[in-house]
Every structure is written in structure tokens, then in C-alpha cells.
Amino acid sequence: MKLTSTLPRLPKSADFRRVWIATIISQLGDWSARLAIGVLVYERTGRPSLVGAAALVFIAPYLGLGQILTARAERYQRRNVMLAADSFRAICFLGLGLGGLPILPLLLLLFVAASVDPVYEAQSSALIIEVAEDEYDAAIRFSHISKQTAQMAGLGVGGLLIAFMSPEVVLLVDAGTFVVAALIVRGVAARRHTPAESLSVRATLAGGFSFLRRDQTTRNAVIATMITVGAGVAVEGQVAVLGPELAGWTGGGIGALAMATPIGSIVAMAIVSTKGSDVALYYRSLIVSLGAAAVVAALVLAGKNGAVLLLAFFALGFMFQASMAANILVGKRIPADNRSTVFGLLQALILVASGVGAYAGGVAIEWLGPTVGVQAMMVTSATAVLFVVPRQTRRVISGPEGATSRRGEQLTSDEVIIDLRDPVPVDDPVGHTRSARPQ
């Protein structure tokens, strides 16, 4: 398969381009902030478990508070919600950069800033559907590649700024990126998603959980993704610890190490074949993810070698391939009504697994040491093979009129049996949430 056949074009929609640019700028700030916070916490405490706790704080709002806020935001224009979220994050990161806060207040303010992340991500994903029009599939695949690139760039720039300045300066720069993103998203034409009826937050969330409960394919794919992503982030989230401990790297070296993982993710997405059915792609990608985990576990045995550690973090990026394939498989099944809420729920599950993995990785490295701790987390990823998707599954339709998650398809019953062995065109309809990484 030719490499160029996997790379999508930039859609022509002007509003998509505005949403895309604003999202990428926000991602740049977000990932450089994550690196800066990790370095700052490790410099002040010397404890990998607290570095893991900081990574967990970034993700904790995706379950609970973030879902409530996402459901509330469904009642407003998506553009305005994104604008408000970026403005709020800019204020919080300004406080993080200027405050000189002790660790506990710093983590509390970080949680407050991160509380709007689920809202922003869900609204951005839903708005892309509305602005991309007939270029929807290309838009999502383009967004996926762009976000991985933004993650890589954010980590690299963050590492350089830490090396030549300080983590606090990075946080101030991040505040500026959120301001720029807010100014760009203002230019998007106002669109308001209006549900068929006014639903309470409880009813809106219940609808999303009902979809997950009834759709076996979604459940299994999401659980397997949670396992592989959690194990991957357990190591990725400890870059501020593993860089100095295993390679003697600081500052720019840590940034380079962090960049290797998204580079690996981009390469994996480009070279793994997308031929065949969605379920075939999912299993193919799961094998790639688990194979990458074995490679990472083997490479860390080489000891304190910077080049080998860099290769291990590159291989780590391949672990997230299963997440991208699950997005393709599951995204086509998401019902149209309350779409951003369902996006938010799926993001919550994946990202909470990322947060738990990040903290567990810190604890494992602190208790077992860097080498054994990394290997222990890689072994946990093997449990993903226990969750397979069925050859036949029921797809839950989106509403009483029988519109399914496949755009334009109409049914008359509440559910329909589909055969996942039938080849279908493969495009990523929801993007990669490894924030979201993902998570």
C-alpha cells in the first residue's frame, strides 16, 4: 500500500480550517504545558508518583465534572463554548505561570483549568461534523494527523523553552496560545445544535450511557483501547523521570524524548494497512499495539543508553494504533442526537484510563525502579486480548425515526443486525482523543 494513500487532503471549508487551526494551537499549548508541569513537579519533589498525579489531574475532569459541563454546553453555540473554554484556560495558565504556587495549590488550579478540556474536545469534534459538510471523513483524518503533529511540536517547543528558560515561562507562553486560539475560533459562523426536546443533564448523560450499554462492539473496543492506552501513557507520562534516570537527559533532551512518541504514532498510522473491513483493521492495529509493548519492554533492558531509550519512546507511539482503529470502528456507530455528549463519554473512558495509567506508572517506577516499572506496565497491556469485537453485532439507532449513525441510512426498527465482515470504506470519523491523550 502506498504511503500517500493514507494521507488525507485539507478540506476546503473555511469554517473547518478555522476550527482546525484553533484546535491545533490549543493542542500546542496543552502538550507543552503537560511537559512543563511534569518537569516542574519532579524538580520540586523528586517523586515519580507526584509526576503521575499531575498527569492524572489533567485527565480527572473527563469523568464526572467534565461530563456535566459537556451536557450543559450542548445547549449553546459550539463556537461560543470553544471560545469561552480557551479564554478560561488562558486565565488559569497565567495564574500557574505567575503564581509561584506550592505543589498542592498548583495541582488544584491545574484541575480547575483542565475541567473545561472535555467540553472543548467534545464541542470541537461535534462542530467539525457540522462545518466539514461532504468532506467529513477527510476532515477527521486530517485532524487526527494534525493533532499528533501538534503534540510532537508542543512537546519539542516546551522542552526547548524549559532548557533555555524555565517551566514557568512555558506556562505563560501556553496562556498566550489559548488567547490566539480563542481569537481564531471567533471567526467561525455561529451554529447552534438544538435537540428535538429540552433534556436535563441527567437525561442527556443517560442517553449516552444507554448507547454504550447496548452496543457490544463499542464496549469491547473501548475496553481494549483503555487497556493499551493506559499502559502506554504509564510510560509516556513519566518522560520527565525516565529521561534523567535512564539517559541523563534534561531540558531539550526530555523534549526530544517526548516528541518520539507522537512521531511513532504518526508513522504507525501511515504504514498500517487500512484495507479490508473495520474489524480487520481493528485486530491488525491491536496486534501492532501489543507488539510495540513487547518491543518497549525489551529495549529498556539495555540500561542507561539515550539512543535506545529514544527508540523505545518511538516504539511506544505504535501502542496507540489500537486507539485510532477503535475510533474508526466505533465512530461510525455513534448516534446523531446528543453527539457531543457521546463523544464526551467515550473520551472520558479513554482518558480516565490514561490518567490511571499515568499514576500507576509513577507508582510502579517509584517502587520498582525505572526498568522494572516500565516492564510491569507493558505486561498489563496483554490483557487487551481478552476483549474482542463480535463478527455480528446490533447497532443502536439514533432516534425514533430510525436514522442510524451511518449518515443517510434509514431503518424502521430500534436495532439492526450488521455483519462487520463486510468491507466498508475506512475513514476516522471521530479523531484520536489521546489527550487523548484519547487521551
437 lies in some domain: no
Q: Taking the CB of residue 8, how many other CB atoms lie within 10 A of it?
A: 18
Q: What is the mean pLDDT of residues 123-129?
A: 77
Contacts of 202 (CB under 8 A, 6+ apart): none
Mean pLDDT of the 103-109 span: 92
The 3-state DSSP composition of the chain as helix, strand, coil percent (nearest 5) reads 75, 5, 25
Which strand (E) or helix (H) includes residue 343?
A: helix 339-368
**What's the CATH number where 69 sits?**
1.20.1250.20
373, three cell numbers:
516499572
What percent of the chain shows pLDDT beyond 90?
Answer: 31
CB-facing half-sphere around the CA of 278: CA atoms within 13 A? 27
187-213 pLDDT tens trace: 887 665 555 454 555 665 676 677 778
pLDDT at 86 over 90: yes
Closest listed residue to residue 148, CA positions, set 319, 254, 265: 265
pLDDT at 412: 32
Of 138 and 316, the structure prediction assigns the larger pLDDT to 316
Domain count for the chain, please give it: 1
Round the average pLDDT of the chain to a whole number and report it. 79
- Dihedral in degrees, nearest 10, Cα atoms 83, 88, 94, 100: -160
Report the pLDDT value the prediction gives residue 401, as an integer from 0 to 100: 35
Whether residue 393 is predicted with pLDDT greater than 50 in this model: the reply is yes
Q: What is the pLDDT of residue 413?
A: 33
pLDDT in tens, 406-431: 333 333 333 333 333 333 333 333 33
| Residue 2 lies inside a defined structural domain of this protein | no
Give the mean pLDDT of 143-171: 87
- Model confidence at 71: pLDDT above 80: no
Nearest to 433 by CA among 209, 222, 156: 222
Name the β-bridge partners of 292.
none
Q: Could you tell me which residue, 400 or 143, shows the higher pLDDT?
A: 143
| 146 in any annotated domain | yes
pLDDT of residue 235: 95
pLDDT band of 337, cuts 50, 70, 90? low
Please state the three-class secondary structure of 116-157 as a single string: CHHHHHHHHHHHHHHHHHHHHHHHHHHHHHHHHHHHHHHHHH
Q: Is residue 177 part of a domain?
A: yes
Provide mean pLDDT across the span 314-337: 81
Q: Which range has the worst mean pLDDT, 150-159, 335-344, 420-429?
A: 420-429
pLDDT of residue 181: 93
pLDDT mean over 236-253: 87
| Residue 17: pLDDT band with limits 50, 70, 90 | confident
Task: Specify if 257 maps to a domain.
Answer: yes
**Which residue, 239, 269, 265, 288, is CA-closest to 35?**
239
Q: What are the cell numbers at 141?
A: 483524518
The predicted model gives 382-390 an average pLDDT of: 86
Q: Which residue has the higher pLDDT, 173 or 279?
A: 173
The three three-digit cell numbers of residue 108, written as one number: 488544584
pLDDT at 134: 65
What's the confidence (pLDDT) of residue 280? 87
Tell me if 243 is assigned to some domain. yes
Most confident of 33-42, 116-125, 196-205: 33-42
Interval 248-297: pLDDT, tens: 887 778 888 989 998 998 898 788 887 788 888 889 999 999 999 999 99
Contact indicator for 73, 81 with CB cutoff of 8 Å: yes
| Residue 246 host element (H or E) | none
DSSP string, 2-20: -GGGGPPPPP--HHHHHHH
pLDDT at 295: 96
Residue written as grid cell 523505545: 312
The CA distance from 299 to 294, in Å, is: 9
- Asked whether residue 57 carries a pLDDT value surpassing 50, the answer given is yes
**Residue pair 223/346 in contact by the 8 Å Cβ criterion:** no
Query: What are the cell numbers at 226?
Result: 483503555
The domain in which residue 270 lies consists of: 12-419
* Assigned C-alpha cell, 18: 478555522
Residue 113 · residue 60 · CB < 8 Å: no
Largest CA distance in the chain: 63
Contact, 306 vs 313, CB < 8 A? no
With a pLDDT cut of 70, the percent of the chain lying above it is 77
In a domain, 18, yes or no: yes
Q: Is residue 316 a part of any domain in this protein?
A: yes
Instruction: Give dist(CA 240, CA 245) in Å, integer.
Output: 9
